[in-house]
Amino acid sequence: MTDVRAEELHIGESDDVVRVRQIVRDAAVELGFSIVDQTKVVTAASELARNTYTYGGGGRFRAELLNSGSRHGLRLIFEDDGPGIPDIEKALSDGYTTGTGLGMGLGGARRLVSEFNIESKPGAGTRIVATRWR
Amino acid sequence: MSTTPTSRLADVVNRHQDELLSEWVQAQQLMTSRRMGLITNADLERESRELLGLLQRALADGDGTSVDGPQWDPVRDFLSGLSRSRAEAGFSPSDTAMFVFSLKQPLLSRLSQEFGDDARSLIDIIWETTSLIDRLGLVTTEEYQKGREAVIARQQRELIELSTPVVKLWDGVVAVPLIGTLDSERTQIVMESLLERIVETNSTMAIIDITGVPTVDTLVAQHLLKTVAAARLMGADCVISGIRPQIAQTIVHLGLTLSEVTTKATMADAITHALDQSGLRIAPVTKE
Amino acid sequence: MAEAERIPILKMGDLLLVTIQVDMHDRIAMRLQDDLTERIVSDHARGVLIDISSLEIVDSFIGRMLANIAAMSRVLDADTVVVGMRPAVAITLVELGLSLPDVRTALNVEQGMQLLADGGKANGWPHHDGRSR
């Protein structure tokens, strides 16, 4: 019996990155994550939210609290209709920077979560699903 | 008035609340008569009254065919809390589930009194009621399980922490002797425990001794390096000691750079180093 | 941006002390960078102490801000020490790949001030130098 509750936020301005952090922190606390895991998942969310705002031109964020018997997890979904990422592999490797030099969020965020999925094509926007299990 | 089984059930619960409560409490008391010492009558009644109230509200707002929706959150939360407190008090999972199941009898007898003449309606509403109570009973059991799992996880973690103690050598210096194979989970726990102790003891130096670690592969080395980097970010330096010749070879062979890390062959060397850094030394006591 | 939205900078002798206690918006972080740079010059500061013991989250943006402040202060002939990073934050930053090699660190304000007192213009790692007990 999987229990899923969700919270959504539209990312439209830079302050929304902090709001995303707060939503994710509250969710992680509710799910009983350890302090270290809370820090990791909130930091990952911060990186991804900032990317959505800075490179995606804004977008949608959704946090899902997953409760299925013995497994508890937090799923973060970031979507934008921005320019897309031309070379995903390169973007995921560290030290990758574009534009104002604020890159590197993707590879780092991936290491902070348990599951990481990214779909992005130039001209078709980007969709990232990152899940951290407790 | 709507005539869905849910609304009919809601209606019956509303109108016969007090009788249902007293019959239910009585049924529980009969069952747990052996374990009466574990819970007082007053608490039993209070908890039953609360659940009945929450049940009423959930039935009023929502659907009796599933207990997953948000209207059932208060009921599930209550059962979750109850499950854990009963577990702590020493009740078995069956006892705890029976808290819920024992509500069936009083409910079903009320329902057959109300709808006894209408076989069709009676069957529908009994089916829905039974399913509902069963589901709630299952929720209780699952929550009991989760509680047990949490205890086990915590105990496992404590075991790992106990087996790799971080000791304070003297003011400002801590040491952790790592023993055995370092898997990912264990290393994480040791790393966290070391960093916490550094903060607690205000230590600026940590000696990580790996004499007792049989093999060092890339993964283990990475974990060690991460620990050193994290400690430095916090303001403490690490010294890795106990590097056996074979391990030194492996490290070089794997092409790992430990250039930013202070390493010593033995724990003794590391302690001497720590003494130097602290501006201390060990000297023989001069006899008068 | 409201005038009130700034992180206060305290002057203590020839040191500047900053205590970051809020979950910072990016703009406040950028503002802090600018304010600190100005104050180092205007107050003739030779040291900057940034206390992040209240911060539960330091992401790559804040991490870079700290590195920038350290670098800029060096150019202005002052030293920066970041103190009080929490274990969970340190673990996460390392996982992110940000080990901030050129930023000097200390466990707390007291040790940070000692570091600033003893140390010369050392570059950060290793910072055994000047750290006497």
Q: Is the pLDDT at C47 greater than 90, yes or no?
A: yes
Query: Which of B146, B148, B157, B188 is best to mutate for the A interface (most A CBs within 10 A)?
Result: B146
Domain count, chain C: 1
* Residue C37, C-beta contacts closer than 8 angstroms, at least 6 positions apart: C69, C72, C73, C76
Nearest to B13 by CA among B123, B128, B119, B99: B128
d(CA B87, CA B143): 10
Q: Do C24 and A14 touch (CB under 8 A)?
A: no
Cβ-Cβ contacts under 8 Å, C124 against chain B: none
Chains that touch B (3 or more CB pairs under 8 A): A, C
Average pLDDT value for residue range C32-58: 96
Query: Which of A30, A31, A36 is best to mutate for the B interface (most B CBs within 10 A)?
Result: A36
Give the domains, in start order, of chain A with CATH numbers: 2-133 (3.30.565.10)
- Output the pLDDT for position B145: 84
Q: If you search the block for the tokens 């900032």, which residue do you land on?
A: A50
pLDDT: which is higher, C5 or B99? B99
Instruction: Spell out the long-range contacts of B55-64 with Cβ–Cβ below 8 A and sequence spacing 24 or more.
Output: B55/B13, B56/B10, B56/B13, B56/B14, B56/B17, B59/B6, B59/B7, B59/B9, B59/B10, B59/B13, B60/B10, B62/B6, B63/B6, B64/B5, B64/B6, B64/B9, B64/B10, B64/B128, B64/B129, B64/B132
d(CA A106, CA C84): 27
Of A3, A5, A70, the CB nearest to B149: A70
d(CA B130, CA A76): 38
Give the model's confidence band at C133: pLDDT under 50 very low, under 70 low, under 90 confident, else very high: very low
* Closest Cα in chain B, distance from residue A95 (Å): 18
Domain CATH code at residue C52: 3.30.750.24
d(CA A66, CA B280): 54
Q: Is the pLDDT at A68 greater than 80, yes or no?
A: no
d(CA A102, CA B131): 55
- Output the pLDDT for position A78: 96
In a domain, C92, yes or no: yes
Q: Do C25 and A14 touch (CB under 8 A)?
A: yes
* Closest Cα in chain C, distance from residue B230 (Å): 5
β B173-179/A2-11 pair status: unpaired
pLDDT digits (tens, 9 = 90+) for B135-181: 999 999 988 887 788 778 888 888 877 778 899 999 999 999 988 88
In a domain, C14, yes or no: yes
pTM: 0.73
* Order of all β-strands in the sheet with B262-264: B167-170, B173-179, B205-212, B237-241, B262-264
Give the domains, in start order, of chain B with CATH numbers: 5-159 (1.10.490.10), 167-278 (3.30.750.24)
Q: Of A79-83, B46-50, B255-259, C112-116, where does mean pLDDT reach its minimum?
A: B255-259
- Output the pLDDT for position C4: 58
In a domain, C129, yes or no: no
* Closest Cα in chain A, distance from residue B109 (Å): 30
Q: Is the pLDDT at C50 greater than 80, yes or no?
A: yes
Q: Do A70 and B192 touch (CB under 8 A)?
A: no
In a domain, C125, yes or no: no
User: Taking an 8 Å Cβ-Cβ cutoff, which residues of chain C contact chain B?
Assistant: 83-91, 93-95, 99-101, 105-108, 111-112, 125-126, 128, 131-133
Average pLDDT value for residue range A6-14: 92
* Residue B230, C-beta contacts closer than 8 angstroms, at least 6 positions apart: B191, B195, C87, C90, C91, C93, C94
Q: Do A36 and C88 touch (CB under 8 A)?
A: yes
In a domain, C132, yes or no: no
CB atoms within 10 A of CB C118: 13
In which domain, by residue range, is C49 found?
Answer: 9-118
Average pLDDT value for residue range C51-78: 94
Sign of the CA dihedral with B91 first, then B94, B98, and B101 last: positive
- Output the pLDDT for position B35: 61
Of C88, C94, C107, the CB nearest to B235: C107
- Output the pLDDT for position A102: 40
CB atoms within 10 A of CB B114: 18
d(CA A12, CA A21): 15
Q: Is the pLDDT at C123 greater than 50, yes or no?
A: no
In a domain, C51, yes or no: yes
Q: Do C59 and A112 touch (CB under 8 A)?
A: no
Angle at C67 between CA C19 and CA B229, to 5 degrees: 95
Show the low-confidence residues of chain B (pLDDT under 70): 1-2, 32-37, 257, 259, 288
Average pLDDT value for residue range A105-122: 90
Q: Do A69 and B142 touch (CB under 8 A)?
A: yes
β C79-83/C47-51 pair status: parallel
d(CA B70, CA B68): 7
Angle at C65 between CA C63 and CA C67, to 5 degrees: 70
Question: SS3 of C4, please?
Answer: coil
Of C83, C87, C106, the CB nearest to B196: C87
* Closest Cα in chain C, distance from residue B151 (Å): 23
Of B198, B226, B277, the CB nearest to C94: B226
Surface of C (100-129) touching A: CB under 8 A: none
Which residue of chain B comes nearest to A4, CA vs CA? B68
Structure-block tokens of residue B68 = 């997953």
